[in-house]
Chains A and B, each alone.
Chain A
Amino acid sequence: MNNLLSRATPYLQATPLLVILGFFLALPILLLLVVSFWDYDFAGMYPGFMTFNYAETLGSWVTWKTYGNTLKFAAIVWAITAFIGFWVAYFLAFHVRKASTQTVLFLVCTVPFLTSNIIRMISWIPVLGRNGLVNSALVGAGIVDQPVEWLLYSDFAVILAMVHLYTLFMVTPIFNTMMRIDKSLVEAARDGGASDWQIIWNVILPLAKPGIAIGSIFVVTLVMADFSTVQVMSGGQSASVALMMRNQMSLLQYPAAAANAVVLLVVVLSMVAGILRIVDIRKEL
């Protein structure tokens, strides 16, 4: 009896997680897969099996252009966040010497992560706007005569806000892996006559790769899923895949949005699978 209970324990403990993710994640995604083959009109959806939604989604040049635009955001934001994330984590892990200072500075970097994304996003508006801080400074200093128009409501604003929102997802995992690099490896490299750059390039960067990979998964999936930043910061002038879905949803075209969701999910999961080939994240926890 006791033995049976002991063997059943992990199953009982894992059940709540399985039930919640099963009902609120797996089931809805399966349902979207089914609904993406349904017919619809302005009044409702009709069960059936037709590939029209996919033909419409994949056959339209708007879709391809939107994917191109979203992937462009993902690539640029990824490159910038990876650069910032690496150097900030490197500074914290290898240049700050006291553990308590390290903890405090790391907290300073993570606190904004726990505050509202929407507030952090709209906080750029008074900074970048036509009469915003940057423009007032530029005009005041006589660098430009007219306020710069492309600071807000542009691709520039979208990328800036995304970098602002998502860099923390890069800093945290990279810092985490760097803290586990044995400092004696760095000492050994230095004793062997390696310069600072050689140490960074040949010792730290290869060992920090898993952290960079996990950060990349976060940043890439967050940018691919983003619609609010694109909508607000581009002022409606730029598009993303999720924003396209959002518009279909507000028109109650659920089967069309579902087809879009399935395509987006396939794209995102293949990107994640590609990154996971580089690193086994189970080993990194």
Chain B
Amino acid sequence: MGQEKRSPGFYILAAFFVLFVLFLYGPLSAIFILSFQGPQGGLTFPLNGVSVRWFQNLFEQQAVGDFGASFSRSLTLGLMVMAATVVVSLLAGLAFRRRFFGATPLFYLTVASLVVPSIIVSLGIGVLFQQLGLRPAWFSSAYGAHMTWTLPFGVLIMFAVFNRFSPSYEEAARDLGANSWQTFRHVVLPMIAPSLIGVGLFGFSLSYDEFARTLMTSGSSNTLPLEIYGMTTNVTTPVLYALGTVTTVFSFLIILLTVGIIYFIGQRRSRS
């Protein structure tokens, strides 16, 4: 097939694809460039000199509120959501491999979690905590709110993984005398490890960037997306772009790290 000539349609579609990628990344690069705006520069082009002044500004309390605290809250919450999403999705994925009473309603509840508008989840949890007399906080109500968004992704990914997973590997392990824990630990787990890492990446990133679900549920302390959203209305200097650049670079590093780990596992496996 490699020698086959490219049709003219290929070049049109390739051009369309390139335009699409430019559309995806173009505006982000505008923010990236503008975050290096000179000290006198404003929120728009042209660049008025080049400086890292707005990055320094990020760490001065009076300029942007408490960026460090909201960042560490978002980071902690992201890691908490990631851990819970991986474990709960894996368990649910294992459960769905067998028939059990209530499997279909539970599946539809999971899908519902994906389609219920985020602001309704936010409002509902806010009112629930109020009625229970609990104080909403980022580590309790917002934690739960984020999981209504990350769990359906995790469960559906595990669902897809186990649909393609042949039970003959486990049968072979059992024939060789492994008990069910050994079968899981030494046969199933290594095979699905890359997917689990992917679920973890989804769990962390979706939580780290979540905004609407945090709105009514984070209590008195802001997470990073709430902080940024607040800044869009009252910050008029490029420090906003500096913050955008920092969090985006952070997200890119996380993605790169994850892809690197998955690639590394694949390489090691194919060698052995």
Contact = CB atoms under 8 A, between A and B. Distances in A.
A13 B87 CA distance: 10
Give the bracket for the number of chain A residues in contact with chain B.
35 or more
A14 B43 contact: no
B91 A224 contact: no
A16 to B, nearest CB: 5
A93 to B, nearest CB: 11
A277 interface: no
A95 B123 contact: no
Contacts of A269: 112, 115
Interface string A13-30: 110111011111111110
B116 A265 contact: yes
A119 B7 contact: no
Interface stretch (B19-27, B54-62, B187-195): B19-27
Give the bracket for the number of chain B residues in contact with chain A.
35 or more
A82 to B, nearest CB: 14
B173 interface: no
Contacts of A25: 109, 112-113, 116, 121, 124, 148
Q: Is the interface of A mostly helix, strand, loop or mixed?
A: helix
A123 B31 contact: yes
B137 to A, nearest CB: 14
26 contacts: A11-B101, A14-B91, A14-B103, A16-B91, A17-B91, A17-B155, A20-B148, A20-B151, A21-B110, A21-B148, A24-B145, A25-B121, A28-B128, A97-B2, A112-B28, A117-B211, A118-B209, A123-B31, A126-B30, A167-B20, A167-B24, A261-B117, A261-B124, A264-B120, A269-B115, A282-B107
Given A116-B247, A221-B115, A261-B117, 19 more contacts: A11-B101, A14-B103, A16-B88, A17-B91, A24-B125, A29-B120, A88-B16, A91-B14, A95-B14, A114-B255, A115-B251, A116-B228, A119-B248, A123-B27, A126-B30, A167-B20, A217-B115, A225-B117, A272-B115
